[in-house]
Amino acid sequence: MSKVALVTGGTRGIGHAISLALRDVGYTVAANYAGNEEAAAAFTKETGIKSYKWNVGDYDACVQGIASVEAELGPVDVLVNNAGITRDGMLHKMTLAQWREVMSVDLDSMFNMCQPLIAGMRDRGFGRIINISSINGQKGQMGQTNYSAAKAGVIGFTKALAQEVAKKGVTVNCIAPGYVDTDMVSAVPEKVLEGIISTIPVGRLGKCNEIAHCVKFLADENACFVTGATITVNGAQYIAG
């Protein structure tokens, strides 16, 4: 029986590429999504990967969603925490709702998704948890105090959990993408996009499959000595020490 991988935000953008990459190397993949029914249905029709709807910012919804996945497909061996949102604004204008919504989806989801799964991974002596952070969680970004704080928290969460489960055959790692050619990034005004690209030494946006390739590596059984790491994939835009 093939191992089961669960990818949050797995039907669009980077998550779509991750789901396909894991499927193509033999995983049975479950793709979580939050609200875009049309995109999820098209994704499942195109790929044959089952999609499951729940809000990763809601602990009870995560418990129920994970239970549904495991009842249909078997125990989850690989968890990719990819789901994330932005609600940008300068802090002096940011609302409490903007702050809390980003924290809920981007950071609380780490607990909501990992806590129900971690005991099973420990008991089975195998697990791969891969958390998607961001360049802006490493360097900060004006107008994104909520997002930058949440994504920095993802890195700290990864380091702590990696130490807790290292002896149990479970690895916990983080990927911090730079600016990637997704619908969200491509939708910014052309001059803003040109300004972003001008700060990337490689001279272009990243590609979704480049992030997916890193996930595929970290999910592999042979990546067992890589844990607690943060892999930066940003074209040298920000080099973390």
Residue 231 dihedral angles phi and psi, to the nearest 5°: -95, 120
Q: What is the DSSP code string of 147-182?
A: HHHHHHHHHHHHHHHHHHHGGGTEEEEEEEE-SB--
Does the annotation mark 179 as catalytic? no
In the beta sheet, which residues pair with residue 237?
A: none
Helix (H) or strand (E) holding 231: strand 230-233
Cα torsion 73, 74, 80, 82: sign: positive
Exposed / middle / buried, residue 142 (Cβ in 10 Å: 0-12, 13-18, 19+): exposed
Q: Which of 52, 147, 179, 238 is catalytic?
A: 147
Structure tokens at 232: 């930066």
CB 20 within 8 A of CB 208: no
Active site residue ranges: 147
